[in-house]
Amino acid sequence: MTGTFLETPVEYLKGVGPARADILKKELQIFTFGELLSLFPFRYIDRSKLFLIAEVKDDAAYVQVKGRITDVQTAGSMRAKRIVATLADDSGEMELVWFQGIKWIIDKLKPGTEYIVFGKPSWFNGHLTIAHPDLETANDQSTSVGDTFRPLYTSTEKLKSRGLDSRGISRLMKTLIQSDRFHIPENLSAEILGNLKLMNRQEAFINIHFPVSHEILQKAQARLKFEELFYIQMRLLLQKFQRTQKQSGHPFTVVGHFLNDFYHHYLSFELTNAQKKVIKEIRNDLGSGKQMNRLLQGDVGSGKTLVALMTMLIALDNNFQACLMAPTEILANQHYHNISKMVSGLGVRLDLLTGSTKPAKRKEIANGLEDGSLQILIGTHALIEENVQFKNLGFVVIDEQHRFGVAQRARLWEKNALTPHVLVMTATPIPRTLAMTLYGDLDSSIIDEMPPGRKPVITKHVYETKQEQVFDFIRKQITGGTQVYIVFPLIQESETLDLKNLMEGYESIKQIFPGPEYAIGMVHGKMKQKEKDEAMERFLKKETQILVATTVIEVGVDIPNASVMVIENAERFGLSQLHQLRGRVGRGADQSYCILISGFKLTSEAKKRIETMVETNDGFIIAETDLRLRGPGDMEGTQQSGILNLKIADIIRDEKILKYARNLATDIIRDDPNLEKETNSVIMRHLKIMNKYRENWGLIS
């Protein structure tokens, strides 16, 4: 057995052996002592706290009660079959229910025996009930490993079948911690520990598994959360430092005729101050000789695309090519048409490349890219296919980046010997904490101001029983000359059902708004590109007044004459999706409306989402609320980010710690970028160990 204690293969642990080691690896990706010790409890049972049954309320989070099983019954049949046991203490009675694992439970439950029961109480069939409680005999508990706090660990069916349920895992932890070789090297300097009054690492590991008190548990958690967030920030900021200090980029020093001509002769309006500020930030980057890597956030319609176009023109002025990548064909088309219009007369050669581009056209594009005569290419991810070769790509714009994987982004960057400048645009504002963790290596610009003359969209919530009023309103609007979107939800589990929903919706809308007075179009994801384009085109040309759609129109589609967005089953949409959809209206001079139609039965989260929409148009507030409601796991873009693999920290609840960690990491890198100082040697050593394991860092660009 060589190497350090933490690096020891898990099969060497007493009580593990080859079979258990195998499932630990397969089920939890645990290979070493260190990885096992880093499986932290997800909860603790505070054994010092026992509730009387009479004290238990159905809205309590979790409770622990002690009582005797007085009765066990089987109720229901077939799929509704369940076990109902009665638990009694001196103060009263409650029910315990199992819907699964019934046989096993029947064998286990011994009437008359005293049990400690842990779970979440609720009201069921007129009784206070705990469904699927954690259960153990009161005697058992005296032999359990924890003291006051019993740790609960995530386990899986396979692990449980090998005796590694929460209790089994806890025993392994005990064995590790009691081992003669147990040693956890410190990875923060004495200075940091002292300044922040953090618990040392070894103590933190012992107490995270077997805390002796609330206070000590909190200290252990704080220490480990800090460590986790600190090292994420160190990695991101070091990457950023390397990029900005060592990776050179094309210096765009010239402001030539393309930008000047455009600005002075083709731009029909004044830039907003926010746009001016962002363009200045971008030009600073471009002139610095370093490669730009910038995130541009701004609500829909705030004028990001214009900023991107002006930056492309700077690239052209410096004899470079530029490209813009959009997430959908509709959007790529739209960008292409808008930008073509804006630069027509400037003498710029641009083209469009998507999945449906014909071979002959592809050939023409390929030739133009190779000899440099094609200056701007707009498209979908077709842009990053192997055979698309630029002569001298200097600038890349990625629109709505969270839809692209980070790996795709990286591939774009490899197109040239010298990495092109990159501007990532997103209309889904990213909460600050998330941005710090997700895009910590990018510079960030924000357009926080709308072009003048925009009237904020008015948002209303209407129950589906009041649909008639909505239809009346739509009629009035159409008579007034504006157009209407009606969006139906997309239920991903069943694409056929989606279509059925939409088709039924379309048919009933057609009956309510009959021809020839009204013309109704439809777009959905299952249509051919050509059909989608035609439907959009008819709507744009005002040949149809109502467009029935799925969320295909969510991203970026720009039809200024549309002033009403009706969202059916609004409770089924996520908050950022609702906000994106609302962004489709309010683009012209008319007052615009967003009408959220829902059923009466709303979950508290759905209610909150709808309320938030009605209350605010501010994308950042919406993003924060969304993050709070859903947690980072469900946010778009977080899947590949690694923040889902946080072992203990939570970027919402631990925002303060995150900021602390980021500030400290920033200071350290500013002061000692190569981590050469003696006090930073411990950090350097730990970064090297992390590198060896790579964790998920390859995924963060």
Residues that bind ligand ADP (CB under 6 A): 269, 271-272, 275, 298, 300-306, 427, 451, 558
Number of chain residues interacting with Mg ion (CB under 5 A): 1
301 or 489: CB nearest ligand ADP: 301
Task: Give which of 664, 210, 576, 147 is closest to 400, Cα–Cα.
Answer: 576
Contact status: 429 vs Mg ion (CB under 5 A): no
Among ligand ADP, Mg ion, none, residue 400 binds (CB under 5-8 Å by kind) = none
Q: C-beta of 268: minimal distance to ligand ADP in Å?
A: 8
Q: C-beta of 562: minimal distance to Mg ion in Å?
A: 15
According to DSSP H, which parts of 318-414 are helical? 329-343, 359-371, 406-413
334 or 701: CB nearest Mg ion: 334
To the nearest 10 degrees (0 to 180), the angle between helices 201-209 and 214-246 is 130
300 or 570: CB nearest ligand ADP: 300
d(CA 149, CA 122): 24
Q: C-beta of 191: minimal distance to ligand ADP in Å?
A: 45
d(CA 130, CA 134): 9
CB contact at 8 A, 561 and 541: no
Among ligand ADP, Mg ion, none, residue 272 binds (CB under 5-8 Å by kind) = ligand ADP
303 or 642: CB nearest ligand ADP: 303
Q: C-beta of 614: minimal distance to ligand ADP in Å?
A: 22
Q: C-beta of 195: minimal distance to Mg ion in Å?
A: 45
Among ligand ADP, Mg ion, none, residue 275 binds (CB under 5-8 Å by kind) = ligand ADP
How many other CB atoms are there within 10 angstroms of residue 629's CB atom?
16
Q: C-beta of 331: minimal distance to Mg ion in Å?
A: 8
332 or 535: CB nearest Mg ion: 332
489 or 556: CB nearest Mg ion: 556
310 CA to centre of own chain: 30
In the region spanning residues 546 to 565, those forming contacts with Mg ion, defined by CB under 5 A, are 556
Q: C-beta of 576: minimal distance to ligand ADP in Å?
A: 15
Among Mg ion, ligand ADP, none, residue 269 binds (CB under 5-8 Å by kind) = ligand ADP
Among ligand ADP, Mg ion, none, residue 92 binds (CB under 5-8 Å by kind) = none
Among Mg ion, ligand ADP, none, residue 301 binds (CB under 5-8 Å by kind) = ligand ADP
CA distances from 372 to 259, 322, 657 (A): 19, 11, 50
95 or 558: CB nearest ligand ADP: 558
Q: C-beta of 583: minimal distance to Mg ion in Å?
A: 8
To the nearest 10 degrees (0 to 180), the angle between helices 619-630 and 575-582 is 160
Radius of gyration over alpha carbons of the chain, in Å? 30
Q: C-beta of 303: minimal distance to ligand ADP in Å?
A: 3
Q: C-beta of 301: minimal distance to ligand ADP in Å?
A: 4
138 or 267: CB nearest ligand ADP: 267
What tokens were used for 293? 């890597």
d(CA 657, CA 581): 34
13 or 397: CB nearest Mg ion: 397
Q: What is the 3-state secondary structure (H, E, C) of 388-407?
A: CCCCCEEEEEEECHHHCCHH
Residue nearest to ligand ADP (CB): 303
d(CA 210, CA 208): 6
Among ligand ADP, Mg ion, none, residue 35 binds (CB under 5-8 Å by kind) = none
CA atoms within 13 A on the CB side of 213: 3
Residue type, position 310, single letter: M
The answer, yes or no, to whether the previous bond of 632 is cis (omega within 30 of 0) is no
379 or 556: CB nearest Mg ion: 556
What tokens were used for 438? 């997700």
What sign for the dihedral angle of Cα 658, 664, 670, 674? negative
Q: C-beta of 283: minimal distance to Mg ion in Å?
A: 21
CB contact at 8 A, 321 and 315: yes
Judged by DSSP in three states, 306 sits in helix
d(CA 202, CA 153): 20
| Residues 6+ positions from 143 with CB-CB distance below 8 Å | none
Among Mg ion, ligand ADP, none, residue 42 binds (CB under 5-8 Å by kind) = none
250 or 304: CB nearest ligand ADP: 304
149 or 439: CB nearest ligand ADP: 439
Q: What is the 3-state secondary structure (H, E, C) of 453-482?
A: CCCCCEEEEEEHHHHHHHHHHHHHHHHCCC
The number of helices, as runs of H, and strands, as runs of E, in the chain is 24, 22
Task: Give which of 300, 263, 193, 284 is closest to 556, Cα–Cα.
Answer: 300
Among Mg ion, ligand ADP, none, residue 394 binds (CB under 5-8 Å by kind) = none
Q: C-beta of 588: minimal distance to ligand ADP in Å?
A: 9
Residue that has been written with the tokens 């508290």 in this structure: 604
In the complex, the residues that contact Mg ion under the rule CB under 5 A are 556
